[in-house]
A and B are shown apart, each in its own frame.
Chain A
């Protein structure tokens, strides 16, 4: 497996960090429940966009997330 080449955001999340995000998101989705899951994820996406601070990066991430659904 190769690393994604076009990530402009160092430092890359290490495996432990990625595992931690995995757990956090799963728990949060369970906690907010099916009804509010989508709303929660959209809020999260907007907050992440705010942290990233670059609409073009977000645009690229949206395209990558739309793959292989």
Chain B
């Protein structure tokens, strides 16, 4: 019997709400569900909300009765905010989070490198925003509860998964006992210690590093701005690295490396935490400032991924699919991109619009992204926590040089999570003009946001469908293009035509007209003349672009992006 913790978790700033468990006895018999998602963390919730938005119902199983213990993921990137905007919670995150864009590396009391993340007038969101994961989950849960297509079941733990021909059978434990559930697709968002991944015996590939880190959240009043602070080789923790981040509600995250061989449980003892946090505060000039501990944990740096995220009817997403080092805020921020990349494909497969084979591109695109991250994260990790004598010597030499030789500064800038460009994706069109553009996002790239007016940005209008951005000065979308779009829609392809014009006047055949008064959108998309177009997938990544669009090439691009054939007769 599964008896989840039923008391609110302790916290000095967050009020946990305990939800009632979902019990099979209180509900009708279970049909086979198109999609069951396991794990109502940020990734599972985002996947559920994206699926629901695209018209596909899902059951979302959460073994606990409340949101995450402790703040966990606290830094969310601009791309994550753009994805969270798609599922309707970015406003709440913006209102409660702390945005930032500077990172400081400090050695022997001197700031040896200051990283400035780019932020231009076309960006709606800051490069980074800090918010405790409990709040983010709460906002996502509120959105999920408000959606009739999401069946969120608290206190439901998956005990067993059996792959059948074309579907999966589950045994789900609840506080009253076990019930059976069937799903055409099972999406495992059950985190780094994924029980589903373990039960299926799937091996991850990559590296584990020796370094272990303590995360501690403390309430303290420090008159410091919201910027990342990284302290290298401090006197109180020689050779190791300490990170500090401001969180909302007067909380600071202190993150420090443990000496090799130290027992993690010992490191979390109150006396050990107190001694080290006091030493850190003393080093930065705040000795004796009172503080209270909220939560602490130990993690180790790993850079691992499954080599394939789709196994029969089971699909892995987020930390269940990969475990990435914390440096560069790559956990949740990578997971959101997984969820977004998966949801539109799964929606089209579940609705019978696209074949199962479309999901193979989810795996290849996201495994590719994870491998790139593993590679980049490895560089960061080897600097933050040198694994060998050679790496330690080089790191120490760079620290020493940094006091007088600014050229080594960029080595301190560990590469922060960024959206992956699916340049080699098989979903990209082979018949378009990608190579002929001199600017703008190319094949597989995430979209470029553009400020259209006061509080109005391009990405506010895109996503959840295939969006054809059609740059025009005319009064109508050409009839053959309208016909090709209609034929695709008749096959169930969610496609919108968004006309981008200088005047903003009505354009016949367009679902929406965006006014590009000063030509900013044309500039950022490298559009030299009217008649050009971009096709964005439902996850907003570019899959085709043309200097002069015609109906045949639109059809061809949609066929590539969906792994289907739209017959000529249907035009």
Contacts and interface: CB of A to CB of B under 8 A. Distances in A.
B199 to A, nearest CB: 46
Interface in B360-412: 393-394, 396-398, 400-401, 405, 407-408
Contacts of B401: 43, 46-47
A46 B393 contact: no
A47 B393 contact: no
Interface residues of A, number: 8
Contacts of B405: 47, 50
A38 interface: yes
Given A46-B398, A47-B401, A38 B393 contact: yes
A43 B398 CA distance: 7
Nearest to A50: B407
B98 to A, nearest CB: 36
- Of the candidates B397, B398, B400, the one having the most CB atoms from chain A within 10 angstroms of its own CB is B397
A13 interface: no
Given A46-B401, A47-B401, A39 B396 contact: yes
A8 interface: no
Interface in A16-69: 38-39, 42-43, 45-47, 50
Nearest to A36: B400
22 contacts: A38-B393, A39-B393, A39-B396, A39-B397, A39-B400, A42-B393, A42-B394, A42-B396, A42-B397, A43-B397, A43-B400, A43-B401, A45-B397, A46-B394, A46-B397, A46-B398, A46-B401, A46-B408, A47-B401, A47-B405, A50-B405, A50-B407
Interface of B: 393-394, 396-398, 400-401, 405, 407-408
A59 B23 CA distance: 65
A28 B458 CA distance: 60
A2 to B, nearest CB: 33
Contacts of A43: 397, 400-401
B407 to A, nearest CB: 6
A39 B394 CA distance: 8
Given A39-B393, A46-B397, A46-B398, 9 more contacts: A38-B393, A39-B397, A39-B400, A42-B397, A43-B397, A43-B400, A46-B401, A46-B408, A47-B401
Nearest to A44: B397
Contacts, number: 22
A39 B401 CA distance: 10
B388 to A, nearest CB: 13
A42 B401 CA distance: 10
Contacts of A50: 405, 407
A9 to B, nearest CB: 19
A43 B405 CA distance: 10
Contacts of A46: 394, 397-398, 401, 408
A53 B408 CA distance: 13
A54 to B, nearest CB: 15
Contacts of B396: 39, 42
A38 B405 CA distance: 19
Contacts of B407: 50
A47 B407 CA distance: 9
Contacts of B400: 39, 43
Nearest to B398: A46
Contacts of A39: 393, 396-397, 400
A42 B393 CA distance: 7
Contacts of B393: 38-39, 42
Contacts of B398: 46
Contacts of A42: 393-394, 396-397
Contacts of B394: 42, 46
- Of the candidates A39, A43, A47, A50, the one having the most CB atoms from chain B within 10 angstroms of its own CB is A43
Contacts of A47: 401, 405
Which 8 residue pairs are nearest across A and B when measured between Cβ atoms?
A42-B397, A43-B397, A42-B393, A43-B401, A50-B407, A39-B396, A39-B397, A43-B400
A45 B407 CA distance: 14
A45 B401 CA distance: 11
Nearest to B405: A47
A50 B411 CA distance: 13
A38 B400 CA distance: 13
A68 to B, nearest CB: 20
Nearest to A45: B397
A32 to B, nearest CB: 11
